Amino acid sequence: MGWLAHGALWLFSLLFLLPLLWTLRSALLPEGLAYALPPAFGPWTLENFWNVLEGPFGKAFRNSFLVAISVVLLGLPLAAGLGYALARYRVGGHGLRFAVLATQMLPPIVLALPLFALMRLFGLSGTLWALVLSYLAFALPFMAWLLLGFFQSLPRELEEAAYVDGATPFQVFFRVVLPLATPGLFAAGILGFLLSWNEFLFALLLSGRDTQTVPVALSTFVTQRGVLFAQVAAGVVLSVLPVALLARMVDRYLVEGLTLGAVK
């Protein structure tokens, strides 16, 4: 029975991993062989990675990182405050809760033009700030909603005990609630990071030549000579790496955070 379960797990894992493994294979083949039929499995080369890193990709990588980390650093404290206020103080009642959720219901394209106009009006168009602010508009409510569930799952008696011990509401939040919510904060932070890291539409509309992010830079491999599949694959592998490493480093918190917050 055990080998059957293991076999099934391997099969499903392979099904999920196959696209990634195929991308890795394409990234390690010379451009001409990446999409040759029948599929080639050699000769292997790192040339695509060097080509990608020599072009604008390196800068895009830095831009993506700056934007995503700014969204997390600015958004997470605000989301934690909002999530806690919604969870414990019922601020704004059902109306505010619905408003937070409603931001996730809008298709991004609906907001693309208004955001473009707004950023131009404030002179932010083409800057990284335009991306940070736009992503915050989506990531903040998303992170707040995730944390709301997490805060609700914390036993209220812990906060009450802290009050009786003489803590003010702010001390309770900072010294008791936040340390206990660490897994939730990690989960919200990583998902906020991913949301910003992978975003394409707003990045295409709002970024300039110097502020391109990774997804936009990847789209530049669609040239007049055709799609440079091997370089796209190399770019995808490079863009997945930091997120995969980050997730691996904190996967314990991530799983705990996602499941705990989701239970209630």
Whether the Cβ atoms of residue 115 and residue 202 lie closer than 8 Å to each other: yes
72 vs 162, beta carbon nearer other proteins = 162
159 vs 199, beta carbon nearer other proteins = 159
Torsion sign, CA atoms 178, 182, 188, 194 = positive
Task: Supply the minimum distance, in Å, between the C-beta of residue 248 and other proteins.
Answer: 24
Q: How many helices (DSSP H) and strands (DSSP E) are in the chain?
A: 14, 2
227 vs 255, beta carbon nearer other proteins = 255
For residue 31, give both structure tokens: 């451009």
- With the CA atoms of 193, 195, 197 and 202 taken in that order, what torsion angle do they form, in degrees rounded to the nearest 10? -140
164 vs 263, beta carbon nearer other proteins = 164
Report how far residue 85's alpha carbon sits from residue 16's, in angstroms, rounded to the nearest whole number: 38
Task: Supply the minimum distance, in Å, between the C-beta of residue 3 and other proteins.
Answer: 36
122 vs 163, beta carbon nearer other proteins = 163
Task: Supply the minimum distance, in Å, between the C-beta of residue 158 and other proteins.
Answer: 5
| Angular region, 226: left φ>0, alpha ψ -120 to 50, beta rest | left
Task: Supply the minimum distance, in Å, between the C-beta of residue 262 and other proteins.
Answer: 20
Among residues 181, 175, 198, 177, the alpha carbon closest in space to that of 244 is found at 198
Task: Supply the minimum distance, in Å, between the C-beta of residue 172 and other proteins.
Answer: 9
- Contacts with other proteins, residue ranges (CB under 8 A): 155, 157-158, 160-168, 171, 175-176, 179-180
Q: How far is CA 248 from CA 184, 204, 253, in A?
A: 16, 29, 10
30 vs 169, beta carbon nearer other proteins = 169
Task: Supply the minimum distance, in Å, between the C-beta of residue 159 and other proteins.
Answer: 9
